[in-house]
Amino acid sequence: MTDFQRYETLGLDGSWISLEKGDAKGGCFCTPKGARVIGWEDGVHYCFIRGYGETVFAVNPESCTEEYVYPLAANFRDFLRLLLSCGTAAAIEQIVWWTEAQFQSFLAEDETPPERTAVLEQIRQAFRLEPMEEPYQYVRALQAGFDRSKLRYTDEFYQVTGRARPDGRYAEGPAFEFPPVTFTLPHRDEEAGK
């Protein structure tokens, strides 16, 4: 049994830690092929991706960086340790674009409801884990050395982003096509004659 399968057997309410149940395939334009989603918070989802072993990724369709997919933990056990340090997957996910000071400020100001504390304590006890000592540095180091060359996307991704496919070709046609909009503004002479 994998660590993720063991986590699932706990029957926890993952919404308290930003890991709500949802569509396991993702379904967003930026969800990579081969993704197996393990939790959601709004449109952001967390997943394993075929070809990357047990690495846990964030997929953010409204990313604040140039990339929509980035690693958070080398394996699910490390991801759980990060959760114990940060409280939610959302806090871990935002490391990609936060400075360390912003990250520390968020953790200091984040109120921890008792339900979240209970979920985290169940994880800690079930896996006999301690919180990650330097979560910000861990995630940044993992992201700095990440090789995204094996990530594959659907045609929709290349159409929406306008990026070249791995073979160098670009999507045919515009990503979005809107009908023309015509504005009619009265001249000042017309307004004065009213």
Three-class HEC string of 179-193: CCCCCCCCCHHHHHC
Average pLDDT on 104-112 reads: 93
Average pLDDT over the chain reads 89
CA distances from 192 to 43, 62, 183, 186 (A): 51, 47, 20, 10
Q: In what order do the strands lie in the sheet with 56-59?
A: 35-41, 44-49, 56-59, 69-73
Question: Residue 189: its pLDDT value, please?
Answer: 63
> Residue 190 — pLDDT band, cuts 50, 70, 90?
low
Question: Residue 168: its pLDDT value, please?
Answer: 78
Position 193 pLDDT exceeds 70? no
Question: Residue 149: its pLDDT value, please?
Answer: 84
Position 63 pLDDT exceeds 60? yes
Beta bridge partners of 59: 45, 69
pTM above 0.75, yes or no: yes
Position 182 pLDDT exceeds 80? no
Average pLDDT on 123-141 reads: 97
Question: Residue 66: its pLDDT value, please?
Answer: 83
Question: Residue 162: its pLDDT value, please?
Answer: 86
Average pLDDT on 25-49 reads: 92
Position 177 pLDDT exceeds 60? no
